[in-house]
Structure 1
Amino acid sequence: MTIDPGIAEIRKITEQLAATDFPVSIGAFVAERAAALGDAPAAVWFEDGLTLSYADLHRRSDALAAALLARGIRKGAHVALMMANVPEFVLSWFALAKLGAVLVPVNTAYTSTELDFLLNQSDSQALIVDAALLPAFEGMSRRPSCLDDARVFVRGGGAPYASLDDLLAEERAWTAPWPVVSTDLASLQYTSGTTGFPKGCMLTHDYWLLLAFSAAGGMGADQIRRSLLWAPFFYMDPQWQLMMTMQLGGTAYVARRLSLTRFFDWVRDFGINYTSFSEVALKALPPGPADREMALRYVNAWGWAPASVREAEERFGVVARDSYGMTEIGAGILMPAAAVHKLDKRTCGVPAPFRETRIIG
């Protein structure tokens, strides 16, 4: 019996994942990637002129984990992280993972009322925050009882709080004081709260590893070397996109925020192979001879109409595919690269690896 090529592709990826010896934790993943890739560039904050290698990410997150441990942050502690797309976000995230602490990403646009809800509802016992965002914290009416000034670590600031810059500068040696395993809680990822206050999803280390490795399997290791990340890191997408890029041994180019006027210049200038963008961005760029000069190979075309998918593939020579996921489950349904016979349909695909779907009603 002939198997649909899209389903065959997902089965193959699922088999490869089932045979994979996954790292035991996000921290172990960072260490393994550093051992394998060393001084190769892992992430480039190109608007700030800063590049961190795989070794840098590992070494500096080790040092920050040790500094946070010395300040009383322990395994299981809930630590809110409120920063824009800066290197310290990634270093703090990896440091907390190595400690076994629980990351609570915070929307940088939150008001004092929203921050009050999130910090109390998540039982946050510490806060890592950019100095520019302190007014929202200082305007709260109910600070969690255990969140005193000594547990507020400020990027670009200091007294009466602790300076995150000073913690990083200490360059302490790190020795893990306890094991962190795949089923340990890694983060409380809050949803967008479209219909009310957001809810926190409890996500384990293996959730993030499976999501990143699954995405890497679908992209093609021989195709993706440079990815463009533009969404805020407090959302889940750039978190798995960075880990996916690291799993592929590539380099992530990190933008401060999305710019429709500069987006395709970034794609061209940095030789980007993978990114995501909206139909609005596609329509904002008139077709031209430079389209085929881009190095793009794969685009997440979330929610695109079939005509837009076809346009992108013809103009840029890319694979553009839809998918559907939720914070609670990660990838749920995806359109395989091999499913070219379905591109004229409004579909987001077939069940992702290790997922099942049902049609109800």
Structure 2
Amino acid sequence: MCVDEKLWRPAVAADQIGESPTVPTVVALLAAGAAARPDAELFRFDDESWSYRRIDEQTSRLAHRLIEVDGVAPGDRVAIMLPNVVQWPVVWLAVLKAGAVAVPINSAYRAADLGFVLRDSGALLVLTDAGHVELVRDTVAADVGLSGVGIVDVADDASDRFSTTAPDVAVDAQTLANLQYTSGTTGFPKACMLTHDYWVRIAWTCAGATGLGPDDVLLTAQPFSYMDPQWNTVLALTTGAPLVVLPRFSASGFMADVRRHRVTFFYVLGSMPTLLFKQPPSDDDRDNDLRMVLCSAIPTALHGALEQRWGAPWREVYGMTESGIDLISPFDDLTAVGGGSIGHPVPSKRVDVVGPDGAAVADGEPGELVVSGRPMMLGYWNRPEETERTLRDGWLHTGDVVVRDAGGAIRLVGRIKDMVRRGGENIASVEVEAALERDDVIVASAVVAVPDDVFGEEVKAFIQLADAVVADRATAEAIVARVRGQLARFKVPRYIEFVTDLPRTPSERVAKSVLKERTTAMPGTTYDMAPQIASSTGESGHNELVRWEVIRNVGVITLNRPDKLNALSVAMRLRLAALIREHGTGERLRGIVLTGAGRAFSAGEDLAAPPTDFDGLRRTFESFHDITRAIVDTRVPVIAAVNGIAVGGASEITLCCDARIGTSNTVYYQPENARGLTISNATSLLLTRLVRNHAMRMVLASPRIDADAAVRIGLVDELVEPRELVAHAIDLIHAWTPDGNTTALHLALLRPTSEEIERAFAREDAAADESWHSGALAAGIEGFWRTKDGRINEAGVNK
């Protein structure tokens, strides 16, 4: 049947939204539905239908079991840790029938998060499944504070023998229903105390605003532990429409499920609309029964295109876990399309826009959105101080920065705590993210503040690219060039880091604290866009220490610490080896060029911070060894473009490369013997292969070898003009790697074998051990600092 042929019967008239719901509790809604339409479909999981009668009877049995077996009393907290299976709403409704308080737990939590929620909530019992029961048992057993917590596997709850009549437990509108933990985008989450009235009013308001009724089909794909599937459940109970529950959100399959289940309404939020829109268009896009979509954070630039593509109106709804629904854009308000409005207050709410002093700001001026009315949380569980900070004089302080226009429409600007404060300018991350995500090559982005010595904070963007888009400097530059036309110059991201995904909360918001932790533990390549920004702003900045970019299908690695002659810390060496290993497989790139910034290729080990213990010494040597292994094991040519001085360990790195191209500024210096420092990185093997009888003089006499001498003895293959250095190296790689070539085989034949390299490493490690334990190495470092000349003094480094 086509959508137009149905007679839509709204469950709640639009003019009733401001009134109190006719049924005051969630359990009463279920009872009323079971009495009025026992065989009607309430839920659909994996194409299995669950009727009102079936859900009502099963939840009553489980409620009796909770009371009679587990000793659950009104007000007790009962945790639910399940994926999106029908047992989730069954357990939730059973807990509410028992008069208890549900504590939803994200099924992706591990021991630390799980333990925190169980301790904080004081949960008496956890209902879970076979996939999580071991984790729950281990977490409970490991914490003496959780010793009394019971555990029930829902597959074996033994509830069949109990009555199908609901237990006689008093539940009213103000009975506490949930401790709903916030998503926790910053720090530990807080539990919002939510009553039955809270859930019923959200559903009542949504039903009235949308006109949904029993002829509709609802769909949800978020985890049930988050509040959206829960209020969707109450919306289904309110309207009589069945709720289709997907196991998870999948951008590639979501709209196919909408068509298959003949869905007429769904709610999405966060990145979900963008991810849906960036799926390849299909001839089936408008072949659906959709009547309307509610969404939070509709991308302004995509709003009209979303409606056009799927043939249904998308409208913004604003709310928080603390307050339910606060604002909504009417479906007959066409001015909301693409206007960035998050709506007008619903009839049961009042809103205001205030400054830091709490006074209302003028229309058109940014300020914090504050909300009062119903529904509203009772407060934060066990956090009276947090409650007082958030709920003041009957007003909820949302922490969201908004602007209200003369017509009363509200536009979201950003979060108070999600701002970049750069040189006195306040930059809303959400504004920069919105500008970035208008770019077709970007799937999603997250903008954060990073410290800066000059401006206090700078703008950094983590970007998830569309498939087949190369994550390199050229792409970063193109993105910044495009976004510069949309944003004020001080808002343009200074730093770009590409990521394969962005960690998210169950509500699909980016977990920025998790993102920062992840990149701290496993730093990726950060592109400093200061040169681009400087072209229009006159500003300058510092590039990353190991810079990666792709030019003409060749990876170029630049050691970029010119104030230290590019001296290599252990972290830089590990990053260098990782880049070579990652991109040296031959699957994507033709080769790798290694060069330096400023007047130095590199000064090797940073002797301003030498190893202070034997373990540190071994890490130092091993990190140099790893660079050699990485280069020798690649299946593509690796060329050293030696732009200036290459000292000690850095000159040794160039020996591993398949060619060394220099300029007139190229200088090699092996100071080991003259300074009493031990050589490393297989110089004993590689140097003799290259320069034969010159190797002894280079090491024992420690001369400085200028560019002409380096060419004469074979240490450098050729000299070119400095401005042509990297381009010539790239040309050479292209010449060595014609299509259909056998370069990888030739490299394996021409390079030293891994066995030879490892034998050299073993000899050098033994020499390093002896040098350390004899005190010769420490004496050598001290001698180096006493005798360094002016140039080395400026660098403060050597090897």
Q: Which of the five TM-score ranges fits, normalised by the shorter chain? A: 0.7 to 0.9
Aligned to 2:49: 51
Residues 344/178 of structure 1: CA separation in 2 closer, same or farther (3 Å cut)? closer
Contact (CA 8 Å) 1:224, 1:274: kept in 2 or not?
no
Q: Is the 8 A contact 2:274 2:299 kept in 1?
A: no
> Would the aligned equivalents of 1:334 and 1:349 in 2 still touch at CA under 8 Å?
yes
Partner of 1:8: none
Q: Is the 8 A contact 2:41 2:50 kept in 1?
A: yes
Counterpart residue identity of residue 286, structure 2: R
Counterparts of 2:298 and 2:203, CA distance in 1: 23
Q: Look up the equivalent residue of 1:348 and give its one-letter code.
A: I
Letter in 1 for 2:186: T
Q: Structure 1 CA distance, aligned partners of 2:172 and 2:79?
A: 21
* Partner residue, 1:32: 32
Mapped to 2, the partners of 1:341 and 1:96 lie a distance apart of 44
**Equivalence for 1:5:** none
Q: Is the 8 A contact 1:236 1:327 kept in 2?
A: yes
Separation in 2, partners of 1:214, 1:224: 18
Question: Does residue 115 of structure 2 align to residue 99 of structure 1?
Answer: no
Query: How big is the shift at 1:22?
Result: 2.6
Q: Is the contact made by 1:110 and 1:136 (CA closer than 8 Å) also made in structure 2?
A: no
- Report 1:321-340 matches (<5 A): 321-340=315-334
Go from structure 1 to structure 2 and tell me whether the alpha carbon gap of 1:17 and 1:352 turns closer, same or farther (over 3 Å shift). Answer: closer
Q: How does 1:241-320 map to 2 (within 5 A)?
A: 241-277=232-268, 278-320=272-314
Matches of 1:144 and 1:28 in 2, distance apart?
A: 36
- Could you tell me how far apart the structure 2 residues matched to 1:21 and 1:274 are? 21
Secondary structure at the aligned position of 1:356 is classed as: strand
Q: Which residue of 2 aligns with 1:160?
A: none
- Taking the TM superposition and a 5 Å limit, the aligned residue runs for 1:121-270 are 121-140=120-139, 141-142=142-143, 144-145=145-146, 147-148=148-149, 151-156=150-155, 163-164=156-157, 166-167=158-159, 169-221=160-212, 225-270=216-261
The secondary structure found in structure 2 opposite 1:293 is coil
Deviation at 1:19, TM superposition (A): 4.2
**In 2, distance between residues paired with 1:222 and 1:191?**
30
Unaligned runs of 5+ in 1: 1-11, 157-162
Q: 1:62 to 1:348 in 2, by over 3 A?
A: same
- 1:70 counterpart (52, 68, 71): 68
The question of whether the paired residues in 2 share the 8 Å contact of 1:80 and 1:126 is answered with yes
The residue type equivalent to 2:179 in the other structure is: L
Partners of 2:340 and 2:31 in 1: how far apart?
A: 41
1:321–1:175 CA distance, 2 compared to 1 (3 A)? closer
1:83 aligns with 2:82: yes
- The CA distance in 1 between the partners of 2:214 and 2:284, in whole Å, is 20
Q: C-alpha distance in 1, partners of 2:347/2:143? A: 43
Contact residue 80 and residue 103 of structure 1 kept, 8 A:
yes
Q: CA deviation at 1:116?
A: 1.1
Distance 1:175 1:235, change over 3 A: closer
Spell out, residue by residue over 1:176-234, the C-alpha distance to the aligned partner (whole angstroms, 9 max, x if none).
33311110100000011111111000000000000011111112135961111110100
Conserved in 2, the CA contact under 8 Å of 1:25 and 1:206?
yes
Q: Which residue type is aligned with residue 356 of structure 1?
A: R
For the 8 Å contact 2:316–2:329, the answer to whether it is kept is yes
2:342 partner SS:
coil
Secondary structure, in 3 states, of the residue corresponding to 1:292? coil
| 8 Å CA contact 1:301, 1:309 repeated in 2 | no
Contact between 1:124 and 1:144, CA under 8 Å: does it hold in 2?
no
1:60 aligned partner:
58
Which has the larger Rg?
2
- The alignment's TM-score, normalised by the length of structure 1, stands at 0.88
In the other structure, the counterpart of 2:340 is 346
**Distance change (3 Å), C-alpha of 1:97 and 1:309:** same
Q: Is the 8 A contact 1:119 1:144 kept in 2?
A: no
Range with greater deviation from structure 2 (119-128 or 169-178): 169-178
CA distance in 2, matches of 1:173, 1:266: 33
SS in structure 1 of the partner of residue 354 of structure 2: coil
Once the two structures are TM-superposed, the CA of residue 285 in structure 1 deviates from its matched residue by 3.6
CA distance in 2, matches of 1:223, 1:290: 26
Q: Distance in 1 between matches of 2:61 and 2:332?
A: 44
- Determine if the alignment matches structure 1 residue 116 to structure 2 residue 107: no
Quick one: distance in 1 between partners of 2:235 and 2:168?
A: 28
Letter in 1 for 2:148: L
Cα distance change, pair 98–344 in 1 and its aligned pair in 2 (3 A): same
Distance 1:77 1:171 in 2: 21
The one-character-per-residue Cα deviations of 1:9-56 (angstroms, maximum 9, x if unpaired) are xxx84x40344553232111110111122101111102xx42110111
**Residue 349 of structure 1: SS of its match in structure 2?**
strand
Question: Do the aligned partners of 2:58 and 2:164 also contact (CA within 8 Å) in 1?
Answer: no
> Structure 1's 271 and 348: CA in aligned 2 closer, same or farther, altered over 3 A?
same
Q: Distance in 1 between matches of 2:94 and 2:45?
A: 19
Q: Provide the secondary structure at the position in 1 that maps to 2:219.
A: strand
**What is the number of equivalent residue pairs in this alignment?**
337
For 1:220 and 1:86, locate their aligned partners in 2 and report how far apart those are by CA, in whole Å: 28
8 Å CA contact 1:228–1:272 kept in 2: the answer is yes
Equivalent position SS for 1:202 = strand
Q: Secondary structure at the match of 1:181?
A: coil
TM-score w.r.t. structure 2 length? 0.41
Bigger drift between 55-64 and 196-205 goes to: 55-64
